[in-house]
Structure 1
């Protein structure tokens, strides 16, 4: 073999240029030609090369030259396609399309009956053309002279003795008997009288007989002798009668191949099959009407249109009955052209996808991928929806570069399309292509469009967006995952569409690993709670399931946490030199938080003792005032201390007053003396949300005066003029002296003087008393403004004002 290749290379170097490279030799039956697989040097495309060695076959050189001449001049789809020829003194080369000997298939019996009929139909058309239009006789028709192309079509070759009957010196008369294996296939009349007998019989007689032997060969194997002619073993019954007429011993009684073809194409004839109808109508598919195109599609996938319930088995049946290569090479390109330019529509594209499942990855990339990329830019919504529906079929065949750089940029227009079906299918397609998108595309452009569809006016699209986000959560960036998912899912929990809420709950349940414990406790669980009392039972049930998922996770996390974040008592004593003022309940005491709190409350009430020391102006001490351990000067008693003193020694004991006092002391520790209580009260005052308990260090301009110490909670429904005047006297901004007799008395023994209320009929008496009362009554309207201040306790005229504040 290597020697032959070197000899061929040497011969080519001495002769005309031959731009093809020889490959492996192909095994064929006896022939004057040697067949090789080859490639075209220019583009690497496949071809076949027939080689004739002139030096060793000089006696058959006229036959080789006749074959070259006829192949170059006779043009028909059923004839081998010639690419190039070269002839020198030592060799003849014919480069053709890539061919496979038909003998390979018939020996293995790899073709179905439908495919054999289809192949015979094509050969019959070619022989009819040779006999009728070309007025010629092939003279060597048999299995060894036939080949299959890459598309699976049967092709006629071996034109060594093909002759025109108009030529008196036709090569067939002299060289017909030199064709290899001519003795087995020669018609009876020629075997008796020689090849000149062709002139005395119908032109079609020789090829009709050989076509009959060909039928026997393709259904039964080798044709060994003339005795087998007419035998019907394995031949379809509908073909029997016409087949026998082809091999009739009387050449004038034989039917021509053209008549055989006509008989088979009649209604109910042996050539009236779906595959043959399909091949007849595949050409110019784009020019057909809608009805003709629909009929064509029925032929392509005939079982599918009868029953759509089992597409896979139908497609398998299609591949078993019909030649797979023909669908790849001939049907598929025509269908793609019809979709792109001929208005084939979604139905045609669906058939394209069915056929493409039989393609290799390389074949899909070269034949289908370019058309798919172009179709994604089509403005036809029906085509776009069909493309999105079929993405799962072809996504594995598309490279990441193609999807990310060419297909996805065309897809994004579907997110904002005016047609809801396009938007919905685009959202669903995200799940299919997510694995082929880059991280930058996912966390940038894709999330931007999903944010729009999550607010779509169509509830189904909102629901599908939530489902989509849940399924692609692992593909999102770590830095944005929890932020995006929490925002999307918690918003969907408030969606009025029940299935959108249900989708959000299920998505939260399956993506719990995407969130940290802080997000689970602070953001997700509070959002889930309203769903527990949703009006729809479906939502309530799903909310309970989601709550269980997050509660189990929070409990597991909390069980691993430390008991407290406070420093241990030993370290606190070492740093301050003294024990903490406020004790912390020990584990044994914390068995019941309510029990601990109530015991503190009981101890606190029993420990309260002493007198209530009012301030100078009767207002409680501000929480920010400095602490004094042993002695409080006037005006520094806190509101809490004042209240406790009232509890210990109430002027008038009542159950309601006692209850409100106890409720206030419920939140104070029982350990320690007066100093401890002052410090706890200051700690509550430091909390912004509980500023209700604080009194300002400066008296506000519109502050309502507190009740006098003599009767701190009851004013009998009358304004406390004296107390109000005393408060006015304490203002630094007041430069005008009070009228005589209304000045504040000096304190004695460290205690403030008690201002008595002026009675309407006693004291000063007469008109002077009335005038003083009138004068003092004028400023009494100002305390009304103080009602706008929330930081001071309101006077309700009842003993339980503090209790009402809680």
Structure 2
């Protein structure tokens, strides 16, 4: 039979004269109607069609005709909205707004308490209208007669026996018993006296009993018989007393639907909920005074997250959008809007909400901006990449420099939900520029959150600048006076360990972490130890994979022939001799060891090895020009052995010389000799003075073939550095260097000049050659 019904309905739906297309069949229990989802052919809008097959239900045809008639004439927000009615010889169709049977939700127990109260309030208010204003009796109030619309509102249907009590020939008197499953739902007085008993009792009695059954079904899921009416299982305690009076056996004592609503709306009553108050006020939001609007906005904050999303999407959202944009609703209204937003279909979100969000980001109201930033994690995924990158982020950037700290802080936090929607150019350009500013913010919380933000978006940064930016940011955070900023820096380094190369870990990160090991706060010290262990483990692991040495092996043909001789000691400790720089081969150490310098007279000539160059004879000093003074030459660290004191000194006399030598190294040797750099070699100074008069020097120490390294080093040092300004020396007496070569020209000894060169000094020669000695 069901197959035959569907076939007939489909045949009619395919007819060219039928303006609707039938879709899926919706199962309806306890009803003479078959419900189908449908669409209007003209515009494709959704609707529902109740179908009654005359041939198979002739006995109930009066009920169907009554339902059609009452549906056309009864208009109320709590009643199913009828779009059209069609009657043919074989079928009757009632076209309504798209609805779903409430019994579906009842059987699945998917209704929460807040929504259940809200729905019962709407049904009770509708019955109040039917019993009072319409002077009618519904006669079949139950879960199967209630439907939910696309907006989630509960709508009353099932008008098969709906009758006006002013009509003596009302359908309910004659055909009331033909209602589906009437035995379970009929009130006790009707069971005893028939439907004519309605005339002898209050008009509201039958529907009040049916409302009590609906309350039980909503909170318990199933109703089996009259003995369950009045039971308070799972029913909210605040509703117990009124619910029991609805279903009492004496019809004269039953509470009417109007009184049930009145008791629920009392202060502290069961219908005093934020959702119900919002429903009552939403339609007149634009007409409310400032005080009433403020009260309404406070109600929005009281809404829980389990509100009926369809109602907010279809009814509340349009009104709230108009209020926040044009009515001064403010952040409270916006918060309610953004609670609804994630539950919207994507197409509806793009159509209704995206343009509003873009416009609101341009609003100068800081409260609106903070509210938008707070909810970006909720709506960020629904916004397209183009919208975020081209329209929203350019508006967000003003928050990084806002005068209000809360705006700056929320802007930094809002980077995370939108960073995946930003282009690489925007991230590595504008975003890093603004984060560099907030990293130096005067508010410690903003500095801390910036460090956390950089740690979380590290993977989004460009590979070319990622390591450089993060090292600079995190090491700066380690020096922050705010303890939580330092802790955030350590945690960020731990989280981004894989971002850094092993070289950066060893040379940049580890040196920055070490001071935190002695931080005044134990929290920082503990975290520093953990972070240090992580980086050390990685560096050590990489170090184990490296080669033992980068030098070529001794047997390699590419090995240099003059490689330094490794020490002959077998001592492998730190005190063992590591390398000798004086000779390359053991075979070169030939000849006899000569006596010490103290046993050789200055006048004696000592035979030197052929491999050692003769010491250059010093020239006599040139006469000083008028007004010039001669600065004493600083003692060079690498003096020759012949100039050193004899080893017969006492320990007390030599102890101070050790520290003097370390000090001399610190003062004179900076590790970089500009004279040795071919790109920085200064031109040879023009010296016209006569060479200095040679001075007698003691015979140098003869090592029998071992080079006088210290003496040679001293000679080289003197040859490289020109005399201080003001001293006239011979042009050829000093070693000169060509600007394009590193080779030293051999100094020549010239006879003393008889005249002093009075030619002005070349303007290109730099001043201050002797300043280093001052």
TM-score w.r.t. length of structure 2: 0.68
> 1:617·1:726 contact (CA, 8 Å) conserved in 2?
no
- Decide which of 457, 472, 475 is 1:472's aligned counterpart: 457
1:20-43 per-position Cα deviation (integer Å, ceiling 9, x unaligned):
3321231320x3321223345677
Question: Is it true that 1:426 corresponds to 2:429 in the alignment?
Answer: no
What is the CA distance between 1:45 and its match in structure 2?
6.0
- Equivalents in 2 of 1:604, 1:339: separation in Å? 103
1:356-377 per-position Cα deviation (integer Å, ceiling 9, x unaligned):
7788989978887676555444
Per the alignment, residue 765 of structure 1 pairs with none
Question: Is it true that 1:571 corresponds to 2:557 in the alignment?
Answer: yes
Per the alignment, residue 800 of structure 1 pairs with none
Per the alignment, residue 88 of structure 1 pairs with 88
Question: Is it true that 1:64 corresponds to 2:64 in the alignment?
Answer: yes
Q: What secondary structure sits across from 2:159 in the alignment?
A: coil
Change in 2 beyond 3 A, CA 1:704/1:239 = same
What is the CA distance between 1:57 and its match in structure 2?
3.9
> 1:21·1:40 contact (CA, 8 Å) conserved in 2?
no
What is the CA distance between 1:477 and its match in structure 2?
2.1
What is the CA distance between 1:50 and its match in structure 2?
0.3
Q: What secondary structure sits across from 2:22 in the alignment?
A: strand
Question: Is it true that 1:416 corresponds to 2:401 in the alignment?
Answer: yes
Change in 2 beyond 3 A, CA 1:435/1:224 = closer
Change in 2 beyond 3 A, CA 1:404/1:571 = same
Change in 2 beyond 3 A, CA 1:614/1:521 = farther
Per the alignment, residue 35 of structure 1 pairs with 35
- Equivalents in 2 of 1:424, 1:55: separation in Å? 72
Change in 2 beyond 3 A, CA 1:137/1:563 = closer
Question: Is it true that 1:710 corresponds to 2:708 in the alignment?
Answer: no
Question: Is it true that 1:580 corresponds to 2:583 in the alignment?
Answer: no
- Equivalents in 2 of 1:507, 1:231: separation in Å? 62
Per the alignment, residue 368 of structure 2 pairs with 383
Per the alignment, residue 769 of structure 2 pairs with 790
Per the alignment, residue 617 of structure 2 pairs with 614
1:91-119 per-position Cα deviation (integer Å, ceiling 9, x unaligned):
22223233333344555665566655543
Question: Is it true that 1:461 corresponds to 2:446 in the alignment?
Answer: yes
> 1:51·1:92 contact (CA, 8 Å) conserved in 2?
yes
> 2:98·2:150 contact (CA, 8 Å) conserved in 1?
yes
> 1:128·1:257 contact (CA, 8 Å) conserved in 2?
yes
Change in 2 beyond 3 A, CA 1:62/1:586 = farther
What is the CA distance between 1:79 and its match in structure 2?
0.3
Change in 2 beyond 3 A, CA 1:171/1:217 = same
Change in 2 beyond 3 A, CA 1:338/1:557 = same
Change in 2 beyond 3 A, CA 1:256/1:570 = closer
Q: Which runs of 5+ in 1 are unaligned?
A: 305-314, 620-638, 668-683, 714-719, 732-750, 757-774, 795-804
Mapping of residues 629-648 of structure 1, within 5 Å: 644=640, 647=643
- Equivalents in 2 of 1:107, 1:147: separation in Å? 14
Mapping of residues 528-607 of structure 1, within 5 Å: 557=542, 560-565=546-551, 568=554, 571=557, 579-580=561-562, 583=565, 592=574, 595=577
What is the CA distance between 1:126 and its match in structure 2?
1.0
Question: Is it true that 1:8 corresponds to 2:9 in the alignment?
Answer: yes
1:194-214 per-position Cα deviation (integer Å, ceiling 9, x unaligned):
767767876555545554565
Task: Decide which moves more: 413-422 or 523-532.
Answer: 523-532
Q: What secondary structure sits across from 2:155 in the alignment?
A: strand
> 2:48·2:95 contact (CA, 8 Å) conserved in 1?
yes
What is the CA distance between 1:481 and its match in structure 2?
1.4
> 1:617·1:730 contact (CA, 8 Å) conserved in 2?
no
Per the alignment, residue 24 of structure 2 pairs with 23
How many residue pairs were aligned? Answer: 683
1:669-698 per-position Cα deviation (integer Å, ceiling 9, x unaligned):
xxxxxxxxxxxxxxx999636689x99996
Give the RMSD, CA atoms, in angstroms: 5.8
1:382-437 per-position Cα deviation (integer Å, ceiling 9, x unaligned):
23222322334455566656655654444333223333321221112223333444
Per the alignment, residue 262 of structure 1 pairs with 262
> 1:695·1:792 contact (CA, 8 Å) conserved in 2?
no
Per the alignment, residue 280 of structure 1 pairs with 280
Q: What secondary structure sits across from 2:414 in the alignment?
A: helix
What is the CA distance between 1:78 and its match in structure 2?
0.9
Pair member with larger Rg: 1
Change in 2 beyond 3 A, CA 1:585/1:597 = closer
Change in 2 beyond 3 A, CA 1:533/1:330 = same
> 2:139·2:206 contact (CA, 8 Å) conserved in 1?
yes
Q: What secondary structure sits across from 1:390 in the alignment?
A: helix
Per the alignment, residue 799 of structure 1 pairs with none
Question: Is it true that 1:73 corresponds to 2:67 in the alignment?
Answer: no
What is the CA distance between 1:263 and its match in structure 2?
4.2
1:335-371 per-position Cα deviation (integer Å, ceiling 9, x unaligned):
5665555444444555556667788989978887676
- Equivalents in 1 of 2:29, 2:502: separation in Å? 75
- Equivalents in 2 of 1:99, 1:169: separation in Å? 32
Per the alignment, residue 153 of structure 2 pairs with 153
> 1:238·1:269 contact (CA, 8 Å) conserved in 2?
yes
> 1:505·1:543 contact (CA, 8 Å) conserved in 2?
yes
1:434-489 per-position Cα deviation (integer Å, ceiling 9, x unaligned):
34445444334432432343344545434432332233222222222123324444
Task: Decide which moves more: 364-373 or 53-62.
Answer: 364-373
1:490-519 per-position Cα deviation (integer Å, ceiling 9, x unaligned):
555666767656654554455454333444
- Equivalents in 1 of 2:236, 2:487: separation in Å? 62
TM-score w.r.t. length of structure 1: 0.66
> 1:131·1:137 contact (CA, 8 Å) conserved in 2?
yes
What is the CA distance between 1:120 and its match in structure 2?
3.5
> 2:99·2:148 contact (CA, 8 Å) conserved in 1?
yes
Q: What secondary structure sits across from 2:557 in the alignment?
A: helix
Change in 2 beyond 3 A, CA 1:272/1:687 = closer
Task: Decide which moves more: 494-503 or 64-73.
Answer: 494-503
